[in-house]
Amino acid sequence: MKTLNLYGIEDIRYEESPKPVVETDHDVIIKVEAAGICGSDLSRYKKLGPYRPGMTFGHEFAGTVAEVGGGVSNVQVGDRVAACPTYACGKCVHCKSGSPSRCKELMVIGSKMPGAFAEYVKLPSAHVIPLPPEVDVATAALIEPAAVVAHGFYLTQIRPGATVAVMGAGSIGMFAIQWAKIFGAKTVIAIDIDKKKLDIALEVGADHVIDASSIPAHDGVLAYSDGAGVDLAVESAGSPITSAQVLALPKKGGEVVYLGIPYADINIERNYFEKIVRNELTIHGSWNALSAPFPGKEWFNTIHYMKTGQINGRKMISHHIPLSEGPAMFKQLTDRSIDAVKVLFQP
Closest among 30, 20, 214, 52 to 129, alpha carbons compared: 30
DSSP 8-state assignment for residue 20: P
CB atoms near residue 261 (< 10 Å):
15
Alpha carbons 134 and 139: distance in angstroms, whole number: 10
Domains, the chain, ordered by start: 2-146+289-345 (3.90.180.10), 156-285 (3.40.50.720)
Whether the per-residue pLDDT at 306 is higher than 80: the answer is yes
Segment 60-106, tens digit of pLDDT: 999 999 999 999 999 999 999 999 999 999 999 999 999 999 999 99
For range 192-211, the mean pLDDT: 96
Kindly state the DSSP code that residue 118 receives in the 8-state scheme.
Answer: B
- Distance from C-alpha of 233 to C-alpha of 194, rounded to nearest angstrom: 19
**So what's the pLDDT on residue 154?**
98
193, amino acid identity: I
Q: Residue 155: what pLDDT? A: 98
Residue 106, beta-bridge partner list: none
Other beta carbons less than 10 A from residue 213's beta carbon? 9
The b-or-e profile of 217-229 (16+ CB within 10 A means b, else e) is bbebbbebbeeeb
Q: How confident is the model at residue 282 (pLDDT cuts 50, 70, 90)?
A: very high
Strand partners, 6: 12, 55
pLDDT exceeds cutoff 90 at 333: yes
Q: Would you give the end-to-end CA distance of the chain in angstroms? A: 10
Whether the CB-CB separation of 8 and 48 falls below 8 Å is answered with: yes
pLDDT tens by residue, 22-64: 999 999 999 999 999 998 899 889 887 777 899 999 999 999 9
What's the mean per-residue pLDDT of the chain?
96
* Diameter of the chain measured on Cα atoms: 61
| Average pLDDT value for residue range 264-288 | 95
- 81: closest CA among 60, 58, 59, 65? 65
Distance, in Å, from the CA atom of 125 to the CA atom of 137, rounded to the nearest integer, reads: 19
List beta partners, residue 35. 61, 345
| Cis peptide preceding 295, ω within 30 of 0 | yes
Which of the four pLDDT bands, split at 50, 70 and 90, describes residue 195? very high
